[in-house]
């Protein structure tokens, strides 16, 4: 392991990815709180903004996880190991004996920063994951109720006394009003 610069570069990129993921999960936590608030207030316009922010945050998380995975794969190749998690990779990297050169000292320092970044992300995820799961259940439940409501409305619209068809267009041959007017 003489090419410390390439190790340092990959480790720094992993630190950056982990730091960004911590920030993004913290942001997702705030977005979920806003979403709950807007669901309870039934504010459609605000809800759309929050939903867009949630989708954007989810996309960024997905991209950062992909990058982290790519960097971990590169580091596994350099170390000649195969591990299943970033935590295992960090442990493996921590166990390597380095010489006393300045570059190796920088690498050891960055490995410590990598450990701290990983611990921080784990703590943030431990806090946010239950909220994400609850939010997914809430949204799924709302979607099921919306579909049931829509089905009920379509059934009502298809009845003979309805003014509109199930598609929402006005019926042409409406049988007349339920009110009668005498002249």
> What are the tens digits of pLDDT across the range 53-112?
999 999 999 999 999 999 999 999 988 888 889 999 999 988 888 788 888 899 999 999
Looking at residue 157, what is its pLDDT?
Answer: 67
CA atoms of 52 and 27, how far apart (whole Å) = 13
CA atoms of 5 and 145, how far apart (whole Å) = 56
138 is a domain residue: no
Range of the domain at 83: 4-128
Q: Is the pLDDT of residue 1 over 60?
A: no
Looking at residue 181, what is its pLDDT?
Answer: 63
93 is a domain residue: yes
Domain CATH number, residue 26? 1.20.58
CA torsion through residues 51, 56, 57, 63, sign: positive
Give 131: exposed, middle or buried? Use CB within 10 Å, 0-12, 13-18, 19+: middle
Instruction: Write down the residue that tokens 């050169």 correspond to.
Output: 101
Strand partners, 164: 170
175 is a domain residue: no
Q: What is the mean pLDDT of residues 121-135?
A: 94
Is residue 94 within 8 Å of residue 75, measured between CB atoms? no
Q: Which residues of 93-104 are buried (b: 16+ CB within 10 A; e: fewer)?
A: beeeeeeeeeeb
166 is a domain residue: no
Counted domains in the chain: 1
12 is a domain residue: yes
DSSP state of 178: S
CA atoms of 117 and 12, how far apart (whole Å) = 11
90 is a domain residue: yes
CA atoms of 109 and 98, how far apart (whole Å) = 12
| Residue 151: pLDDT band with limits 50, 70, 90 | confident
167 is a domain residue: no
Strand partners, 69: none
Q: What is the mean pLDDT of residues 32-61?
A: 84
99 is a domain residue: yes
Q: ∠ at Cα 131 (130, 132), nearest 5°?
A: 90
């Amino acid at each position: 392991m003489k090419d410390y610069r390439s190790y340092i570069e990959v480790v720094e990129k992993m630190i950056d990815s982990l730091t960004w993921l911590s920030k993004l999960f913290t942001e997702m936590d705030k977005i979920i709180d806003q979403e709950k608030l807007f669901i309870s207030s039934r504010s459609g316009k605000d809800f759309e903004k929050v939903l867009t922010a949630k989708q954007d945050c989810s996309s960024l998380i997905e991209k950062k996880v992909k990058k982290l995975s790519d960097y971990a794969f590169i580091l596994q190749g350099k170390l000649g190991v195969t591990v299943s998690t970033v935590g295992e990779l960090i442990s493996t990297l921590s166990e390597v004996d380095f010489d006393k050169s300045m570059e190796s000292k920088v690498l050891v320092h960055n490995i410590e920063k990598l450990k701290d970044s990983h611990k921080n992300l784990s703590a943030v995820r431990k806090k946010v994951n239950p909220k994400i799961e609850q939010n997914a259940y809430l949204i799924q439940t709302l979607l099921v109720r919306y579909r049931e409501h829509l089905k009920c409305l379509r059934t009502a619209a298809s009845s003979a006394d309805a003014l509109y068809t199930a598609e929402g267009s006005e019926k042409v041959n409406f049988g007349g009003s339920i009110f009668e007017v005498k002249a």
